[in-house]
Amino acid sequence: MRCSCILPDPDAEGELVMNELTISLKPGKQIPLYEQIYEYIRKEIRRGAIQSGEKLPSTRALSRHLEVSRSTVELAYEQLLSEGYIEAQPYRGYFAAQIEGLYQFSGSGQTQEKREQKAERTYRYDFTPNGVDLKSFPYNVWRKLSRECLLDDRAELFRLGNPQGESGLRSAISSYLHQARGVNCTPDQIIVGAGNDYLLMLLCAILGSSHRVALENPTYRQAYRLFENLSYEVCTVDMDGKGMRADKLMESGADIAFVMPSHHYPLGTVMPIRRRMELLAWAEKTEGRFIIEDDYDSEFRYKGKPIPALQGYDGSGKVIYIGTFSKSIAPAIRMSYLVLPQPLYRRYRERCGFISSTVSKVDQLILQKFIEEGYYERHLNKMRALYRSRHDTLLSALRETVPEPDISGENAGVHLLLHFRDGRSEEELIRKALEKGVKVYGLSEYYVDGKEQADTDETVILLGYANMNEEKIKEAVKLLGEAWANC
Amino acid sequence: MRCSCILPDPDAEGELVMNELTISLKPGKQIPLYEQIYEYIRKEIRRGAIQSGEKLPSTRALSRHLEVSRSTVELAYEQLLSEGYIEAQPYRGYFAAQIEGLYQFSGSGQTQEKREQKAERTYRYDFTPNGVDLKSFPYNVWRKLSRECLLDDRAELFRLGNPQGESGLRSAISSYLHQARGVNCTPDQIIVGAGNDYLLMLLCAILGSSHRVALENPTYRQAYRLFENLSYEVCTVDMDGKGMRADKLMESGADIAFVMPSHHYPLGTVMPIRRRMELLAWAEKTEGRFIIEDDYDSEFRYKGKPIPALQGYDGSGKVIYIGTFSKSIAPAIRMSYLVLPQPLYRRYRERCGFISSTVSKVDQLILQKFIEEGYYERHLNKMRALYRSRHDTLLSALRETVPEPDISGENAGVHLLLHFRDGRSEEELIRKALEKGVKVYGLSEYYVDGKEQADTDETVILLGYANMNEEKIKEAVKLLGEAWANC
């Protein structure tokens, strides 16, 4: 039994020696005395200066020699005990625990890898197809509703809520879906979640592993990558002008089809009723087959009525409907919803019913009021008018500027497609536009599965108009005319 | 070429006949005329009254006969066209599309399964171990910060943010973790997410499939079920008084260990330094091994300093740290965070960097201000004092009431464990307490993997005190004394 011998610390302000154990206590400092004693002994044990099995001085002896109260030393020893640096042996005292040789402790912090945060260059004119006009976000209403929701000290609002989302919000969504989208569902079938990505992850947990998912090509890449990363087999199925080909879907061996029937992204295709029925018939043919309907931006259609959701035609519980408020309100509010057919809803309850909601109750309540009090409808009307005007401006500007433009995907959504068949490459068209300060997007980045482009000789450019006002659209199209004229 | 013959609708308000096609238009009604025409023809096609291939009247003829403008009929035909009910043939006109025989349309809505929403019975005294005192939630501060965040019409706040969470919040979390938990990390390594469940799902997406996860037994059931549902192999590893046994972990064949070293749930065990090093040594031995450290409630410790996180000892990038604000602020704010070691962080960027954040920017900004402006620390101090007082009250009430109580798991968290070795079953103890209006919880519900209870002859009851004030605790313990005295 021996105690380690420590040389006095030259920085010590007050120095106390006890047996052979020296601790420099700094009583004036912010760190409590017990913590200084604890820190000191811990460090000595970690660096091996106090070896395993060595006996420590008794609390009484150490307190006397350090001229501190016994409870101070006891507190230090208790902390060392609870973290396992020392061990208490009845009637014998405290001993350093055996920790050396097991593992090399981390140094003064992990090596900090510095990554370059690539600053996204911004362009004077950006035709991003993913834009949402946030100048029109209803700030006043949102503030007002948020104030109202937080008005009372309601503990209820901060208690863990229903895993599916609050029933008030689900009722509001269910009536909205019925009226606006022709979706047949009860609030029970709805699961509110923090964004489509999360809901697709949840859906994979509900469906379980070993599925083969078929997507259109091009498609919403995010979904493709998610399924892939969640270890699903993914494949693509050829499209024609009516959307995913049902015969090719049959051949693909997939049991899940991911489609956007009301407005395909990025092509803007509307799936006609016949194709929809073929897909439903495909799903009905075999148990376990499902169709995921991503109805991401059906709110915006500038000609006629909205195209009804596929879910509304589903008589056999085969369609999983997914919708979002990201496009129609704002991306950062993080609220989407899943409508599960009854058989899957039961599976959800069994397998995943315990998974907590990902949306805060306050946000759910704000959104519920936003829908129920008519603000959502008004906001949609306002945005539809705004986007329609930009859509019309872009169309007429293109027709004036580009000779005989070949346009598709218009009349809905917030972007359209411009087709070129003059041999010019996507890269060239994008680069020429960039040189004039206009950012445009190529269709090729929406292709997955190794495919780079459709098997045609055409080049397709996407022009999104949600983020640009009419004046800017006109200016930008003029520049595009110049950029592409002298290619 | 023939047109279908429809009998006049007896409800018709104004009736117009054209060729053989009869449509009852109701001009006074809210539904626009074009929609009435569209609805009528759509219904007739769906029920087979207009058969596929049949020619529809020209827009000019129909408009003349219905005495509506031609554009009204055009609008109706366009809608039918875009939904695929009719097809346009150049120079020939419009024809009903072939849709019959493919699929039986859904009726007037899916059969609505009504589930009984089991109303959770509430008890006068509830010793739930998952309580959070929400009477102390800082409502005023939260309101104030929320108002401040929403003050300006800042579009930035509603644009899609950083997938990892906003950098300001991540910096605030990283300094907090460094100071309070001894965690070594840069803000870069932090991923903010909507709750632990979500972050574990994300972690599985980062780690990929085919892993074997070892958990302690008893454990946090939610984590066990999640791993299981995400198709991981799960197994349990025996514990001793120091936590997960490293030798058994080695034998288990697992490559991922899920532990709660600073305060095991539900046992309250603190993993001593030696065991921590054994686990770190286990992880270091083979590439691909990781330790998930769930540090769910380390904020509450009533004796000495907080126990430092295992992550702080990790020198080889093996510990994945997960923490939450659910326990320390409120369950419904849905904010947790993951600290990834560098190698996994790179994998996250590659595989999952595209997955959008699940927390709204407004909420992130509120929390950031809450931490940075010192409110979080003050709130923690307040809660610690509050819970400590309830903890002390419960301890002394138990010592006065229950003869020689065998208590463990005290001094930290918000619950303690009461051990019985008199042969009485958990069921009996819980039932007797319930008869007095006191809800207590058994340890057995925390066992997984088919195990129902530890292999001992003891019965363990959990008593959580976060949700009860001192007076209620005293009353409840008195009732427990009566309930259990005459068992």
What mean pLDDT comes out for the span B235-251? 94
What confidence tier does B486 reach under pLDDT thresholds 50, 70, 90?
low
**Predicted-assembly ipTM surpassing the 0.90 threshold:** no
pLDDT confidence of residue B375: 94
User: Of A130, A126, A131, which is closest to residue A438 (Cα–Cα)?
Assistant: A126
Q: How far apart are CA B373 and CA B233, in angstroms?
A: 44
What secondary structure letter does DSSP report for B412?
B
Q: Has residue B15 got a pLDDT over 60? A: no
Q: How deeply is B158 buried, as exposed, middle or buried, from its count of CB atoms within 10 A (0-12, 13-18, 19+)?
A: buried
pLDDT confidence of residue B192: 98
What size, in residues, is chain A? Answer: 487
pLDDT tens profile B384-419: 999 999 999 999 999 999 888 999 998 899 999 999
Q: Is A454 on the interface with B (CB under 8 A)?
A: no
Q: Is A242 on the interface with B (CB under 8 A)?
A: yes
pLDDT confidence of residue A345: 95
**CA-CA-CA-CA torsion sign (B125, B195, B377, A366):** negative
Q: How far apart are CA A50 and CA A40, in angstroms?
A: 11
How far are the Cα atoms of A12, A118, A355, B360 from residue A368, in angstroms, in the given order? 63, 38, 22, 16
Chain B residue with Cα closest to A84: B272
pLDDT confidence of residue B485: 87
What mean pLDDT comes out for the span B277-283? 95
The residue to which tokens 């320390």 are assigned: B328
Residues B231, A242: C-beta atoms closer than 8 Å:
no
pLDDT tens profile B111-135: 444 444 445 567 899 999 988 998 8
pLDDT confidence of residue A195: 94
pLDDT tens profile B135-164: 888 999 999 999 999 887 678 888 889 999
Residue A359 near residue B334 (C-beta atoms within 8 A): yes
Q: How deeply is B100 buried, as exposed, middle or buried, from its count of CB atoms within 10 A (0-12, 13-18, 19+)?
A: middle
Other Cβ atoms within 10 Å of B119 Cβ, number: 6
- Each residue's pLDDT expressed in tens, for chain A with a length of 487 residues: 333 333 333 333 333 333 456 777 877 767 888 888 998 888 888 888 888 888 888 888 888 888 889 999 998 998 888 888 898 888 888 998 887 666 766 644 444 444 444 456 678 999 999 889 988 889 999 999 999 998 876 788 888 899 999 999 999 999 999 988 999 999 999 999 999 999 999 999 999 888 999 999 999 999 999 998 888 999 999 999 999 999 999 999 999 999 999 999 999 999 999 999 999 999 999 999 999 999 988 889 888 888 899 999 999 999 999 999 998 998 888 999 999 999 999 999 999 999 999 999 999 999 999 999 999 999 999 999 999 999 999 999 999 998 889 999 988 999 999 999 998 999 999 999 999 999 999 999 999 877 666 567 899 999 999 999 999 999 999 999 999 985 5
Contacts of B35 in chain A (CB under 8 A): 305
pLDDT > 90: what percent of chain A?
59
- The partner residue sitting opposite B110, judged by closest CB among A159, A317, A333, is A317
- Please give the model's pTM, rounded to 2 decimal places: 0.85
What confidence tier does B19 reach under pLDDT thresholds 50, 70, 90?
very low
Chain pair A-B, CB pairs under 8 angstroms: 285
Q: Is B141 on the interface with A (CB under 8 A)?
A: no
Q: How deeply is A146 buried, as exposed, middle or buried, from its count of CB atoms within 10 A (0-12, 13-18, 19+)?
A: buried
pLDDT confidence of residue A420: 93
- When scoring B98, B158, B448 by the number of chain A Cβ atoms within 10 A, the one with the most, hence best to mutate, is B158
Residue B40 near residue B79 (C-beta atoms within 8 A): no
The more confidently predicted of residues A26 and B317 is B317
Residue A171 three-state SS:
helix
Q: How far apart are CA A444 and CA A454, in angstroms?
A: 8
For the residues of B420-470, what is the DSSP string, one character each?
E-SS--HHHHHHHHHHTTEE-EEGGGG--TT--S-SSS-EEEEEE-TT--H
For the residues of B31-88, what is the DSSP string, one character each?
S-HHHHHHHHHHHHHHTTSSPTTPBPPPHHHHHHHHTS-HHHHHHHHHHHHHHTSEEE
pLDDT confidence of residue A486: 59
pLDDT confidence of residue A13: 37
pLDDT confidence of residue A453: 60
Q: Is A382 on the interface with B (CB under 8 A)?
A: no
pLDDT confidence of residue A349: 94
Q: How far apart are CA B45 and CA B51, in angstroms?
A: 6
How far are the Cα atoms of A269, A294, B25, B71 from residue B34, in angstroms, in the given order? 23, 28, 10, 9
- When scoring A277, A370, A379 by the number of chain B Cβ atoms within 10 A, the one with the most, hence best to mutate, is A277
**Structure token pair of residue A4:** 């380690």
Residues A356, B197: C-beta atoms closer than 8 Å:
yes
Contacts of A177 in chain B (CB under 8 A): none
The more confidently predicted of residues B5 and B185 is B185
The residue type at B293: E
Residues A110, B342: C-beta atoms closer than 8 Å:
yes
